[in-house]
Amino acid sequence: MSDVFDQVKAIIVDVLKVDENELDMDTRFIEDLKADSMDQFFLIDGFSEKFDLQIPDESARQIKSIGDAVNYIEQNLN
């Protein structure tokens, strides 16, 4: 897996206190990890800080899974 995936996973483990072995690209924040809106805010904030990205609200609403987060970050890093 990619370095971005590993870093995203680390943020999710830190924020949601879940087992990293349960996480893959298809894992959904709400349905699979039971994240609420505050959790989602902290995840997006963590991604923004870690990767030095501005993630607009509209884009943040589209990030529903680990794969969505990884793809968004990889596309917007450069």
Known catalytic residues? 36
Buried b / exposed e along 22-47 (16+ C-beta atoms within 10 A): ebeeebebeeebebeeebbeebbebb
Round to whole Å and give the CA distance between 31 and 65: 9
